[in-house]
C-alpha cells in the first residue's frame, strides 16, 4: 500500500527548493508570537488557550493542510505530469494512500509540532493545554489532509475551495450558525482534545462519539473516493 518512490517524489514536490522555507515561516511566526505573548502577559491559561485555539488550530492547521493536501497531487494533475506516474504499474489507491501519508506527515510536522512548542512556551503545558491542542492538531491534520487531497483530485481550483471551506465555513458560518459546527473538522478534533485534556478551557459543540465516527468516516471515504477519482482521471486541458 505504501510506495517509497512515490513518497520521495511527493516530499520533493512539497518541500523542494524554497517551498519548505515558506511552509516553515508560518510555524516560526506562531512560535515568535507565543514568545512575545509570554513576555507581555506572562503564563496565563486562558490566553494560551485563546492563542492556540484561535491562531494555531483555527487558522494555521487548515492553511498548512490545504498547502500540503492539495500540493501533494494538484500541481501534478495541473501540468499533466501525473500521466507518467499513472502509467507505472502501481495501483491508483496505492498512489493516493502514499500521497496521503506524506501530506499527513507534512501537515503534522509543520502544524502540530509548533503547536506543542508554542503551548510549552505559553504556559508550560499547564492544565494539559499544550498537549490537548497538539492532539487536536494531529487529529485534524489527518482529516484535513484526506479531504484536501480529495479536492486536489476533483477540481482544478482545489486550493480556493479548500480555503473557502476552512475560512468561510468553519470560521465565519461556524461562528454565526451553530449547526455548521457539527460539520467542522476543527470541532471534531476539539472534541477529542476535550476528552484528553479534561479541563474546562477547551470545549466542543460535538460529542466525542459523533466526532470520532465522523472523523474516521470522512478520512476513509475521502481517501477511497480520491482513489476512485484517480482511477478514472481525465486530464482537462487548460481552461
Partner 1 sequence: MAVEHPVTTPSGDQTRIHNIGYRSYDGPRLGRAYARRSLYSQSLRGAYGLGRSVKSKVLPMLLFVVMCVPAAIMVAVAVATKAKELPLDYTRYAIVMQAVISLYVASQAPQSVSRDLRFKTVPLYFSRPIETADYVRAKFAALASALFILTAAPLLVLYVGALLAKLDFADQTEGFAQGLVSVALLSLLFAGLGLVIAAVTPRRGFGIAAVIAVLTISYGAVSTLQAIADAQGSTGAIPWIGLFSPVTLIDGVQSAFLGASSAAPGGIGPSNGEGAVYVLVCLGLIAACYGLLMRRYKKVGL
Site of interaction with partner 1 (CB under 8 A) = 19, 22, 26, 29, 33, 36-37, 40-41, 47, 50-51, 54-55, 58-60, 63, 66-67, 70-71, 74-75, 78, 157-160, 163-164, 167-168, 171-172, 239
Q: Which residues does 192 contact at the CB level (< 8 Å), separation at least 6? A: 135, 136, 139, 208, 211, 212, 215
d(CA 38, CA 47) in angstroms, rounded, equals 9
**Closest to partner 1 by CB, 54 or 178:** 54
**Closest to partner 1 by CB, 90 or 109:** 109
Q: Is 53:187 a contact under the CB 8 Å cutoff?
A: no
Taking the complex as a whole, the smallest distance from the CB of residue 33 to partner 1 amounts, in Å, to 5
For the chain, the first-to-last Cα distance in angstroms comes to: 34
Taking the complex as a whole, the smallest distance from the CB of residue 239 to partner 1 amounts, in Å, to 5
Q: Which cell numbers in the block locate residue 169?
A: 465555513
Q: How far is CA 186 from CA 86, 206, 215, in A?
A: 33, 10, 10
Taking the complex as a whole, the smallest distance from the CB of residue 206 to partner 1 amounts, in Å, to 23
**Closest to partner 1 by CB, 173 or 224:** 173
Q: How many CA atoms lie within 13 A of 23 on its CB side?
A: 25
Taking the complex as a whole, the smallest distance from the CB of residue 86 to partner 1 amounts, in Å, to 20
**Closest to partner 1 by CB, 200 or 239:** 239
Distance of CA 111 to the CA centre of its chain: 8
d(CA 166, CA 12) in angstroms, rounded, equals 26
Taking the complex as a whole, the smallest distance from the CB of residue 115 to partner 1 amounts, in Å, to 14
**Closest to partner 1 by CB, 82 or 206:** 82
**Closest to partner 1 by CB, 73 or 214:** 73
Q: Which cell numbers in the block locate residue 131?
A: 498537549
Per the listing, cell 480520491 goes with 226
d(CA 37, CA 25) in angstroms, rounded, equals 18
Taking the complex as a whole, the smallest distance from the CB of residue 40 to partner 1 amounts, in Å, to 6
Amino acid at each position: 500500500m505504501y510506495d517509497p518512490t512515490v513518497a520521495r517524489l511527493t516530499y520533493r514536490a512539497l518541500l523542494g527548493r524554497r517551498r519548505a522555507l515558506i511552509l516553515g515561516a508560518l510555524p516560526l511566526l506562531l512560535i515568535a508570537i507565543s514568545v512575545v505573548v509570554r513576555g507581555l502577559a506572562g503564563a496565563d491559561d486562558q490566553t494560551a488557550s485563546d492563542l492556540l485555539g484561535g491562531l494555531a488550530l483555527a487558522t494555521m492547521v487548515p492553511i498548512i493542510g490545504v498547502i500540503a493536501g492539495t500540493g501533494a497531487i494538484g500541481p501534478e494533475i495541473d501540468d499533466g505530469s501525473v500521466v507518467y506516474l499513472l502509467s507505472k504499474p502501481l495501483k491508483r489507491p496505492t498512489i493516493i494512500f502514499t500521497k496521503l501519508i506524506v501530506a499527513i506527515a507534512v501537515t503534522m510536522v509543520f502544524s502540530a509540532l509548533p503547536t506543542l512548542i508554542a503551548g510549552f512556551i505559553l504556559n508550560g503545558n499547564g492544565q494539559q493545554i499544550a498537549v490537548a491542542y497538539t492532539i487536536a492538531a494531529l487529529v485534524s491534520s489527518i482529516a484535513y489532509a484526506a479531504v484536501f487531497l480529495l479536492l486536489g483530485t476533483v477540481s482544478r481550483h482545489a486550493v480556493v475551495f479548500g480555503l473557502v471551506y476552512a475560512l468561510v465555513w468553519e470560521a465565519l458560518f461556524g461562528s454565526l450558525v451553530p449547526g455548521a459546527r457539527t460539520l467542522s473538522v476543527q470541532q471534531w478534533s476539539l472534541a477529542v482534545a476535550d476528552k484528553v485534556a479534561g479541563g474546562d478551557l477547551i470545549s466542543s459543540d460535538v460529542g466525542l462519539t459523533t466526532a470520532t465516527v465522523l472523523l474516521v468516516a470522512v478520512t476513509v471515504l475521502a481517501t477511497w473516493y480520491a482513489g476512485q477519482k484517480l482511477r478514472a482521471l481525465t486530464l482537462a486541458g487548460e481552461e
